[in-house]
Amino acid sequence: MAAVRVLSHLGPSGVFALPPDLAGMVELVPVPTRGDLDPALRGEVLVTLPWEVETLAETLRRGVRWVHVTGTGVDAFPLQLIGEGVVLTNSRGASAVPISEWVLATMLAFEKRLPESWETRSPEDWRRGQLRDLGTLAGKRLALVGLGGIGSATATRALAFDMQVRALRRRDRPSPVPGVETVRSLPALLDGADHVVLAAPLTPETRGLIGREAFGAMKPGVHLVNVARGALVDQDALRAALDDGTVSMASLDAVDPEPLPEGHWLYTHPKVRLSPHLSWSAPGALDLLAQMFIENLRRFVAGESLQHVVDLDAGY
């Protein structure tokens, strides 16, 4: 049997090594991301980046039947280039554990007033910290916008802290995580929430989802966490919600654009905690992304159906 040819936009060595069980069954062929391609170049599989590269359209015309995007989101990928009969997959869920841990860390930091409750000098009264009214996650209501891999991992951890978890789902299906209440409307989700976590893909339907109307449905003092895409949030509406006390704190790992320009108000607002899209970071994080592709590659070689297929109509 001829080896499956995997065309790769990931550089000469890619970001993964083929495991021994695929040796001799798969040939990895680096493809330049710009310039002209070898006229003889052909391959059944393309592993590429989660955004458009210059040679993408031409590479897709070289016999490709399956495209794998190495990221978890495809909002920056030109879905219109995927032709009929071509399957698109991504590494959805590979970063769910570290991202969900980051979410829990931000919620705990909010409730426990970290780091502002730490001392840097000897206070006049060591016990004055008792007056700070630290919060707790137990009994608090978590509103999850999205219940995919990241949302589910976050829900599991939040339930362990005795939180009440409610999630927004596009389809009328039960929760994959027992103990999570699902709703179909954003106002129903946001009603009474103490923490609102954004873990949804960016699509035309979700762009600007958290805007003036959504903030109007939130109770004063809510904590907003975004580990998805910055464009889910109307940042002008967020600024107004921060200033009027609707949002007590915004923990943002995703903003729009990335990076923010110098002098942007999000850098200095006292109620914003900003990180540079690093919530996915963990030991072996890139290996986890690659493993999703390797597992699907085994399926492709065996003629089995692929996992983590992107719905081109839905956009994720």
Question: Where in the sequence numbering do the catalytic residues fall?
Answer: 229, 258, 277
What is the strand order of the sheet 181-183 is part of? Answer: 181-183, 164-168, 141-145, 195-198, 222-226, 247-252, 272-274
H runs (alpha helix) in the chain? 56-60, 96-111, 149-160, 186-190, 212-216, 235-243, 285-302
Q: Which of 168, 162, 165 is nearest to 148 (CA)?
A: 168
Beta carbons within 8 Å of 255's beta carbon, 6+ residues apart: 226, 230, 235, 266, 274
CA atoms of 92 and 228, how far apart (whole Å) = 12
The beta-strand segments (E) located in 16-99 are 26-30, 45-48, 66-69, 87-90
Contact 206, 200 (CB under 8 A): yes
CA atoms of 20 and 91, how far apart (whole Å) = 21
Contact 147, 92 (CB under 8 A): no
Q: Is the dihedral of CA 83, 87, 90, 93 positive or negative?
A: positive
Count other Cβ atoms within 10 Å, centred on residue 54. Answer: 12
The residue behind tokens 């590429």 is 48
Contact 195, 171 (CB under 8 A): no
